[in-house]
Structure 1
Amino acid sequence: MVISSGDKADDVSIIVIPIVGMGGLGKTTVAQLVYNDDRVKGYFNLRMWICVSDDFDVKKLVRSIIESATAGAKCDISDMDPLHHRLQEVLRGKLFLLVLDDVWNEDHEKWDRLRKYLMCGARGSKIIVTSRSYGVAEIMGTVEPYSLGVLSEEDCWSLFRERAFRDRGEEEANPNLVAIGKEIVSKCGGVPLVVKALGGLLRSKKEEKEWLSVRNHRSNIIEDGSGILPALKLSYNSLPSPMKQCFAFCALFPKDYNIPKNTLIQLWIAHGFIPAKLSSAGKEVEDVGNESFNDLLRR
């Protein structure tokens, strides 16, 4: 869909492909795989990736598109007219791929304004939109949405065992945990983010009662209408108190912000989230902070 020519698109000079599905299914992951595919890199003159989230501010988005198109060069233009002219300079005549990741906007007028500014690219340019909302896909898409379904139970188990067991030997040595794990997976609703979160949670737990506690948490870990939050909350609740603080502190960074690891660890230390008493066996407090970071990453 992405590298086909735009000739069949009638009068549509930009083709918009929505990727739609509930949270945790892997919409962004699919978009990343497409964006980084060698065939896609060779097909387009220009590729841009914008994290949109819940703030569909047209001026801000135009500025972000310009910065992405110019390898991150800062754009300080504040007025819309000169911003529009700069965008035209950057896109004019180029076959481009633009990814708008995590779109929530269902205001038709806002999208029309942004789309109008993007019409200066070459015919056959593509936009990929990821969203949880079919309303967004209806407003923005020029083709049928690419709908992500849930994983099969077999694929879910493959993903879970990779997270929950260190190797095949450990898996084979714990047949009871395998049986419980398969029951847990059957309650994950085929959502990969939930499977990964629970697999990561159980990786450090080796007692049956700990696995049974997760299995018995709810009749279904994914419940109708509740989305993925119950499963993620289960993972959060199992964190030691200092690590809960470390994790919650990350909410101070804007969504999609690239957080420098060492800076984050120093901030944790400065706020007293890495207790000095944990620094034992000759470890520096920074080493303990690094372990906390890696543990959160695994989860």
Structure 2
Amino acid sequence: MADIVAVHITRLLVCNDRRVRGHFEKMIWVCVSHDFDSRRLIRSIVESVTGAKFDLTSMESMQHSLVERLGGRRFLLVLDDVWNENSEKWDRLRTLLTVGGKGSKVVVTTRSVRVASLMGTVEPHILRGLSEDDCWLLFKRRAFGLGAGEKTGNLVTIGKGIVKKAGGVPLAAKALGSLMRFKRESEWLAIRDNDIWNLPDEENEILPSLRLSYNHLPSHLKQCFAYCSILQ
């Protein structure tokens, strides 16, 4: 959950801040996930800098291209959704990144305290979810439209019960709000009382909200998602 909030805050306060953008010559965002492979990450970094596909495959050629693009330049690199707990892999990548200019920074988003301890040189900033009141505002805007929240009778009470399931995650609140728009009261109750919310704790973050949204898609859109999953 916190990692999803971290992505929004990192984009808003770091990558989209004019002062930050003016301070660094290069701004790079790489989604890491579970595949912490130096070769893939270097390729992704170079592609982010150039905006073009990178065809070189040997590590030597990729290192040369990295030096060519970032050598002596002050850069900000965001490594998003990191799960690697192998210190050797991180040390290998960190060595490659020393080509940057003085003042270059690496920001890491992760849900793992161990990863934060392993990769961090400063104390990690632990993010919490939104309050229920803030989640309700996001949900209400999507579910009712602007100014309509007080005219829906029982839906407000049911909706606040649904919002509790969002766990403070903005994306979950918005997805659930969009899902409930134009639905009948019986459908709101069915969503609030759905068994999907009873998934084991390790799975019960944003997945139930997104799964419910997926389950209510038209069949042709479900086919689009199924096709896209093949290309992953």
Q: Structure 1-normalised TM-score?
A: 0.71
- Counterpart for residue 180 of structure 1: 158
Give me the identity figure in percent: 53
- Counterpart for residue 193 of structure 2: 216
CA–CA distance in 2 between the matches of 1:234 and 1:111? 37
Pairwise CA RMSD = 2.1
1:252 Cα offset (Å)? 2.6
Structure 1 or 2: larger helix share? 2
CA–CA distance in 1 between the matches of 2:78 and 2:173? 26
1:177 Cα offset (Å)? 0.9
Answer yes or no: is 1:162 the counterpart of 2:141: yes
- Counterpart for residue 127 of structure 2: 148
The Cα offsets for residues 250-297 of structure 1, whole Å up to 9 and x where unpaired, read as 21333xxxxxxxxxxxxxxxxxxxxxxxxxxxxxxxxxxxxxxxxxxx
Residues 1:80 and 1:160: Cα distance change in structure 2 (over 3 Å): same
CA–CA distance in 1 between the matches of 2:39 and 2:143? 45
CA–CA distance in 2 between the matches of 1:124 and 1:199? 42
1:82 alignment partner, one of 57, 61, 69 = 61
CA–CA distance in 1 between the matches of 2:111 and 2:198? 20
1:51 alignment partner, one of 24, 28, 31 = 31
Q: Assess if the C-alpha contact under 8 Å between 1:221 and 1:230 holds in 2.
A: no
Q: Assess if the C-alpha contact under 8 Å between 2:5 and 2:129 holds in 1.
A: no
State the SS of the aligned residue for 1:200. Answer: helix
Q: Assess if the C-alpha contact under 8 Å between 1:187 and 1:221 holds in 2.
A: no
- Counterpart for residue 20 of structure 2: 40
1:224 Cα offset (Å)? 2.9
Once the two structures are superposed, the pairs formed by residues 120-269 of structure 1 within 5 Å of their partners are: 120-168=99-147, 170-205=148-183, 207-218=184-195, 224-226=201-203, 227-254=205-232
Q: Assess if the C-alpha contact under 8 Å between 2:2 and 2:129 holds in 1.
A: no
Q: Which runs of 5+ in 1 are unaligned?
A: 1-20, 255-299
CA–CA distance in 2 between the matches of 1:126 and 1:221? 41
Residues 1:216 and 1:73: Cα distance change in structure 2 (over 3 Å): closer
CA–CA distance in 2 between the matches of 1:98 and 1:31? 11
- Counterpart for residue 85 of structure 2: 106
CA–CA distance in 2 between the matches of 1:209 and 1:73? 50
The Cα offsets for residues 28-77 of structure 1, whole Å up to 9 and x where unpaired, read as 212211112101111111111112222222112112212222x3234332
